[in-house]
Structure formats: structure tokens, C-alpha cells
Copies of this chain bind each other. A is one copy, B any other.
């Protein structure tokens, strides 16, 4: 079975790892879930899975590849009957794209089957896993999600709901979960609400009850025509069953710390998360960036597609024309030709092409969302210069990314982050730009509707910029010997 080894050969971005989706009491639940996962495809392209339940049995299908590939066979869909379903998209962080790691995970318990889909990362997964193995638990996957499954299996509580809560109390980390048992579909956000999860409504499959939808982002509701009801709240367990929707809050209340990078890059621009429209947020960051880091130039050019809204905001605020100076080729297929030296020297870019007539002789403001290693940025700057740009000014719609993420995002080690190694002038030099600017912390918070960043009461998780990790890194600290003294 061949795998898309590298769908994005030139991608130098933080990568959202997963999307979750769930449906209760909706006709064609699996098809609805497939559509939702398709809308959430940007949150994971390596593998996809759906488990459905028809009141009698659970059915599942999982595969490697895009949602449209995994579920394109009508026989596959026909084999997923029922009005309840959960689904999952996966972006593999470690290369171990094994089918057994593809979610939703499913297991038969004493109380019946249970399917669990998880977006996020547990910071004490290794510690718990070790304890469970010592107890005689056998792990089949290398995913954090299986930790939940075992904790539920060995819980001494009677109901699924109580067992899940029992499990939640033992884990730390960032997680949005969608869980389906014979009796209910449940949605959970971790106490800080780091990862998103929204609740929507559809006509019910049975007349007397509403249909419900859980989705990582609101764009997953839109594609199936579901009405947005509300965000699942940080620390909330939403339980949907025959008696309707109810809510349990098993944790002590904490100040929410939603992931600010969801606004900057991860989420789809047409989503609204925790009350903020992503597209508006990105445009507004561009506006703030223009105010903070003005420079004389002829054109504002986005690095497509993620840099487009901020570039529009920058252009609008600065009055400098917005132009598509870089064209993105979306037909990427699988890993491409092994480059020979000749081709490497040509500086070939599979995804981005310069629109020469727009760039030639111009002073160009290039707008991108972030700089991770800097490798792609350097290639793009070179490409723009080769196309004849007179000056290149790089504007970044996030602060410098200086720290790794441990909450469900695929990030390089700190030592590979350009901003963790170099100061601004050195970065500008390495990237080959005439000027370089990042949005300030206060600018970023202003764009999101706050006065400024208050270090003591930060509204968001911005650990990748600040190193201020709101959830304890249990496994990581243990490995590094932190706190063992």
C-alpha cells in the first residue's frame, strides 16, 4: 500500500495534526462525517477514518490518503450504516503512518464498543503508558489516544460517561475529543481549551429529536449545512444522547488559553473560532503589521495561500496595491522527481511560481504567516528577486516562533527554528531581504480584539512565541531531567 510520502515537499510550516468530527441522530451519518472531514482536510492529509453506529453494530473504515480517496468507493460508504458516526483526519508527525495508528480508535469494552477521535497531544502520555504497561495493558498503536482507551477500560466506574471523566482526570495536555458509545456521542475540550471544537445542529434522523454535529472548526458545520450553535467550552464535556444535549464540567475552572496559531495559520479562513472570524483576524493582523512596520514599496504580494488575507489587510492599511506576484500550483501529486544537481541549482519550486510582470523592477512587500526553519522563505525570496524585484521587504503575520509546541502541533526541534537561533538583523541577512518585520505581541492581541498582551493573564496559548507553556510538560520534563531533583 503506497503512501503519499510527502504531500508538501516544500512546506516549512507548523502543522496541525488532526481534525475530529462527530454526528448524532442524522441520516447518512457517515456521509455527513466524510463531508465534514473533507472540509477539515487542512488539519490532516495523511489518513482518515470513520466509525459509524446503527443502533446494533459499529462499522469502521480507515485508510491512508485524502478523505476523498479513502471514502470515494460507494461500497465503503454503504458499509458504514447508521445515524451516529465519528471521524478523524490525521497528519502524521513521526513518519509512522501505520494503519493501526489511524483514528478513530475503536475497542470492545465490557459495556460495549467505544470509538474515540482525538485532536491534540497529552503531555503525560508516556508516564501513563508506562504505568498501564506495568499493569498488563497491551498497546497496539503509538498514539496518545490509546491512553484514553485503556484508562476507560480499566476504570472502575459503571457508565461510559463516568469512565471517560475518570480517564480525563488522569491525563494532562491539549485535547479535543469526540467519543461515541452505544448510547451517546460526547465532545470534550481540555480545561484550557487549547484546541477548538464546535457544536452544530441539523435536522434529526428521527422526527422527535434534533440531529447534532461536533466539528473541530465551524467550516465543518457549513459544508453540511449545519447551524452553528456554540463553541464547546474549555473543560466542558458535552453529552448528546436520547434525552438531548447536556453538559458536565469535571474540572476546576481555569482561564482559557486557546491556541493563537489557529488564528494565524491552522484554521480555515472561513471558520469562526471562540467568537472570532479567522479571516477577519488575519486581515486585521495585516492592518496592524502595516501600522507597525511600514515601508515604501510598489506592491504588496502574499505568499499564497496562507499569506493572502494579511497581505490584503496590509495593502488596505498602507494603500500599496495588492498583487498576485506569486502563483501557487495546486496540482502536486506525490513526491516528485529526485532532483539532480542540475535541477537543484535551478532552484526549482514545485508549488510557487513568480508572476514576473508583477514583480519586475518593483519594490515588493512580501507577506507570509510565519517563519519556521526559514528554508522555504529563503527560496521564495530568491525566486522573487530572480523575477526582477528591486527590493524585497518581508512582513510576517506572527511573532518570531522560538519554541516547540507540545500540544498537538508538529514542530521542528527548537534548534532548527530560525528565530530561536538568530536575531532580527541576522535573520534578514540569512533570508536575503532588504527588511524584515514580525507582528508584535501587542499588535497580534489588538488584531484579535484585545488591548494588548498581558503576560500575567494571557488570553491565548502563545508558547511557541513566548515559551510560556500553560500545561505542564510532564513527559518532556522527565526526559530532560527537569524537576527530578
Residues on A facing B (Cβ under 8 Å) = 1, 27-28, 31-32, 34-35, 38-39, 41-42, 45, 65-69, 71-72, 74, 77, 99-100, 107-110, 133-140, 149-150, 153-155, 219, 222-225, 268-270, 272, 277, 279-280, 308-309, 312, 316, 321-324, 327, 329-340, 342-343, 346-350, 353-358, 386
With A1-B1, A322-B312 known as contacts, the answer to whether A343 contacts B28 (CB < 8 A) is yes
Measured between C-beta atoms, what is the minimum distance from A388 to chain B in Å? 12
User: Quick check: B346 and A225 within 8 Å, CB to CB?
Assistant: yes
**Minimal beta-carbon separation of A54 from chain B (angstroms):** 15
Contact in complex: A140, B137 (CB < 8 Å): no
Question: CB distance A137 to B137 under 8 Å?
Answer: yes
Given contacts A31-B339, A69-B334, A136-B137, 5 further A-B pairs with CB under 8 A are: A67-B333, A68-B335, A138-B153, A224-B346, A279-B324
* A137 neighbours in B (Cβ, 8 Å): 136-138, 153
Pairwise interchain contact B68-A336, C-beta atoms closer than 8 A:
yes
Chain B residues closer than 8 Å to A329, beta-carbon distance: 38-39, 41
Query: When chains A and B are docked, how far (Å) is the Cα of A235 from the Cα of B356?
Result: 28
Instruction: Please state if B357 and A279 are interface contacts (CB–CB under 8 Å).
Output: yes
CA distance A141 to B369 in the complex (A): 45
* Chain B residue at minimum C-beta to C-beta distance from A343: B31
Q: Which residues of B contact A224 (CB under 8 A)?
A: 346, 348
Q: How far is the CA of A34 from the CA of B340 in the complex (A)?
A: 13
Asked if B277 contacts A357 (CB within 8 A), the reply is yes
| A256-B325 Cα distance, complex, nearest whole Å | 30
The reply to whether A138 and B134 contact each other, CB–CB distance below 8 Å, is: no
Residue ID in chain B nearest A225 by CB atoms: B346
* CB neighbours of A138 from chain B (8 A): 107-109, 137-138, 140, 149-150, 153
Which residues of B sit under 8 angstroms from A280, Cβ to Cβ? 357
Give the residues in chain B near A42, CB-CB below 8 Å: 331
Q: Which residues from B are CB-within-8-Å of A353?
A: 39, 219, 222-223, 268, 270
Could you tell me the distance in whole angstroms from the C-beta of A127 to the nearest C-beta in chain B?
15
> Which chain B residues lie closer than 8 Å to A136 at the CB level?
110, 137, 150, 153-155
User: Which residues in B have their C-beta under 8 angstroms from that of A279?
Assistant: 324, 355, 357-358
- Taken together as a complex, chains A and B put the C-alpha atoms of A323 and B309 apart, in Å, by 9
Give Cα A250 to B312, complex, Å.
51
> CA–CA, A155 to B136, complex, Å?
8
Q: Which residues of B contact A358 (CB under 8 A)?
A: 279
Q: Residues of B contacting A225 with CB < 8 Å?
A: 346-348, 386
Report chain B residues within 8 Å CB of A354: 222, 270
Complex: chain B residue closest to A150, CB-CB: B138
CA distance A150 to B1 in the complex (A): 29
B223 adjacent to A77 (CB under 8 Å)? no
A357→B312 CA distance, assembly (Å)? 16
A343-B67 in contact (CB<8A): no
B72 A355 Cβ-Cβ under 8 A: no
A-B contact pairs, 7 of them (CB 8 A): A1-B1, A28-B340, A38-B350, A71-B336, A72-B333, A72-B334, A312-B322
Q: With A and B bound together, what is the CA distance between A348 and B39 in angstroms?
A: 11
Give the shortest distance, in Å, between A117 (CB) and chain B (any CB): 17
